[in-house]
Amino acid sequence: MLKLIRKIKFLYIILFLLFSLSIFSQSNTKFVVILDAGHGGKDPGNSYNGFIEKEIALKTALKLEKYLKKEKDIDVIHTRKTDVFIELVDRPRKANTLHANLFVSIHCNSVKNPIPYGTETFVMGLTRSQGNLEIAKQENSVILFEKNYKQTYKGFDPKKPETLIGLKMLQEDFLDRSIQLASKIENNFINQLNRKSRGIKQTPLWVLDAAYMPSVLIELGFLSNKKEGLYLNSAAGQENMAKAIATAIISYKKEYFGSGYNKNMEQSKSKKGNATSTKEKAKNSVLEETNNKKELKVEDDGILFKVQFAAGKQNLKLVPSNFKGLKNVSVRSTKASFYKYSYGATSDYSEAKKNLKEVQSKGYSSAYIIAFKDGKNISLEEALK
């Protein structure tokens, strides 16, 4: 009997591993977006005027998936698709396991004062403004619903968000791109929906700190404001918000990864190429010559491609030992003393893709290609045109 139980357990483990590998292999071929509907189950989140945060967040996330799935090369994965309680630690863990490209957490705001209204999008940071810390306390407080949270979160106190200062901030590497995504989202709220934006804010949120990819937490609006609560609780309001967020995510993907992100496309082309006829090979040769001319034209246009692989507030010496052996590293700085590290510099896009693979082989899995024209940073999509 004991042997039978062991065999059954072993089979379950094998099936689980195969299922996990299947999900990973599918996700790894696409641009993976993790949608995290805030709260759930025994944790309702904010509740005002009969509006419940966990319900609005979930409905909006499910509508957001519908818009994102119109793009064939985007894979959408939810942290929850029903009214269940998910421990905070498991939300970014899923994203990290799948090596997702984006982590998007959806929430609703509230305060005791019924007057404030408007959207806010948060990125990871240690800003100590009292307003931001109050939001951080609310969103981090889900930890208190969990058993053994002190052990799980290693001394992090949700009532004191600033205790994150002592933790290693890997999220800093992705802060720049998180801000870019947040900016697109808030701009869409303003321009597409005529919503009031309260801006992009940095605050110590555990769920963002633990996600090792560009990540944002969106506050759709204030449930404590009855008019705004009615809008967010309506199917039309959720549809509008979902569409605006989806448009921002798709724009972000195209800017940083181009239109054809699906790696399977390249693989299928390669396989077909092995069986091409002489006529097809001749045609491919002409196409290759045309592409080479285009690449030369790119050089004439002053276009340069680099691979950005890290960013942070540390100004590191440009020596290989600081970058896992990478030699041709350059750095750009911003007014906020933020340093962006890039590898290589070429006018040949195919060469840039080779550089990207080399950087990724060193362990910088979230590296991506950036473009410059006459020394000015432009979108990849614009450069490829």
pLDDT digits 0-9 by tens, 185-221: 999 999 999 999 999 988 777 677 677 789 999 999 9
Position 87 scores a pLDDT of 86
Cα–Cα distance between 269 and 151 in angstroms, integer? Answer: 50
Q: What is this structure's pTM?
A: 0.63
Position 367 scores a pLDDT of 79
Per-residue confidence band for 91, with pLDDT thresholds at 50, 70 and 90: confident
Position 56 scores a pLDDT of 98
Contacts of 302 (CB under 8 A, 6+ apart): 373, 374
Handedness of CA 114, 117, 121, 125 (dihedral sign): negative
pLDDT digits 0-9 by tens, 128-177: 444 444 544 454 454 444 455 454 444 445 555 544 443 333 445 577 78
Position 275 scores a pLDDT of 40
Per-residue confidence band for 316, with pLDDT thresholds at 50, 70 and 90: confident
Closest CA to 383 of 308, 298, 300: 298
Closest CA to 319 of 305, 309, 329: 329
Position 147 scores a pLDDT of 53
- State mean pLDDT over 320-338: 83
- State mean pLDDT over 258-286: 44
Q: Which of 69-73, 177-181, 229-233 reaches the highest mean pLDDT?
A: 229-233
| Angle, vertex CA 57, rays to CA 52 and CA 58, nearest 5 | 105
- Whether the pLDDT of residue 34 is over 60: the answer is yes
